[in-house]
Amino acid sequence: MLKKPFLIAEIGINHNGDLKIAKKLILNAKEANFDAVKFQKRDINLVYSKEMLDSPRESPWGKTQRDQKKGLEFGEQEYDEIDNFCKEKKIEWFCSAWDINSLNFLKKYNLKFNKIASAMIVDKNLLENVAKEKKHTFISTGMSSIEDIDNAVKIFKTQNCSFELMHCVSTYPMSPEEANLQTINALKKTYNCDVGYSGHENGIAISIAATMFNISSLERHITLDRAMYGSDQAASLEMQGMEKLTSSIEKVCLATGEEKLGHISEKEKIIAKKLRAHIK
């Protein structure tokens, strides 16, 4: 029987800078039987150039990219509340830090896990600092060459830091023909490690299919409403989709069973007796 993967509800920046939305998403993840929620943390002045931040962008927070990026970031006060709220609701939380300042900021919360976002797998300095923390780390492989993955794996093995790769395609939303789930097996064979799946597709079919590859973890973006403001919302799951996903995965894991030929269950024996009674 397949083992149920560790289920991560990626809140990311879908809270839109609103702590009430973040808490509602945490509650939804808990009620839908996810194991953890994940956020994203950035020092926008390190992650983005001044020219980019000063460029125009209309958003609910203002007319520049800086206004938008700043509006989506939580600070210490918000994360203190998130930490307490997750402890109260008994669900794990963690973050993908996009820079060293953010990684250091998160040390306060004694989190169990780290996450390397696909965009950051090429940042060797960040990877080395994450690996030195010796926390189990999920490493997404979207937009990555074999060399990129090789380098990341080498860093974590050198630091003796527990990790798993996550097959990922960084399109939003991802189309079915882009999924290439066979990559999960290729990653397992090449790197001899656990492999999860981080999905950006619409719906739940591809995520359920990924479960059949015996993935160790499954991450999906979640939202209150896919029509909300934000680039990740359209590829996210609302509450109904979250519940369907987790219940379907439980059924799939139960249904895989064992490799047994000629096995007749007790229920089948009763039915066979009735249906074959006329056969002499």
pLDDT (0 to 100) of residue 82 = 98
pLDDT (0 to 100) of residue 110 = 93
Between CA 186 and CA 182 the distance in angstroms is 7
Per-residue DSSP letters for 132-165? HTT-EEEEE-TT--HHHHHHHHHHHHHTT--EEE
pLDDT band (50, 70, 90) for residue 228: very high
The whole-number average pLDDT for the span 26-53 is 98
Between CA 169 and CA 175, with CA 174 as vertex, the angle to 5 degrees is 120
Q: Please state whether the peptide bond connecting residue 173 to the residue before it is cis, i.e. omega within 30 degrees of 0.
A: yes
Average pLDDT score over the chain: 97
pLDDT (0 to 100) of residue 14 = 97
The whole-number average pLDDT for the span 163-184 is 97
Q: Is the pLDDT of residue 23 over 90?
A: yes
Query: Could you report the per-residue pLDDT of 126-157, keeping only the tens digit for each?
Result: 999 999 999 999 999 999 999 999 999 999 99
Domain extents in the chain: 6-275
pLDDT (0 to 100) of residue 117 = 98
User: Cα dist. 191→154, 164, 197 in Å?
Assistant: 10, 10, 15
Q: Is the pLDDT of residue 75 over 90?
A: yes
Q: Is the pLDDT of residue 124 over 90?
A: yes
CA nearest to 187, candidates 224, 229, 141: 141
Q: Is the pLDDT of residue 31 over 90?
A: yes
Q: Is the pLDDT of residue 29 over 90?
A: yes
pLDDT band (50, 70, 90) for residue 1: confident
CATH homologous superfamily for the domain 6-275: Aldolase class I (3.20.20.70)
Strands 195-199 and 92-97: unpaired
Q: Is the pLDDT of residue 206 over 90?
A: yes
Q: Quick check: 9 and 236 in contact, CB under 8 A?
A: no
What letters, b where the CB count within 10 A reaches 16 and e where it falls short, cover 224-249? bebeeebebbebbbebebbeebbeeb
Query: Could you report the per-residue pLDDT of 49-74, keeping only the tens digit for each?
Result: 999 999 999 999 999 999 999 999 99
The whole-number average pLDDT for the span 254-272 is 93
The whole-number average pLDDT for the span 191-219 is 98
pLDDT (0 to 100) of residue 280 = 83
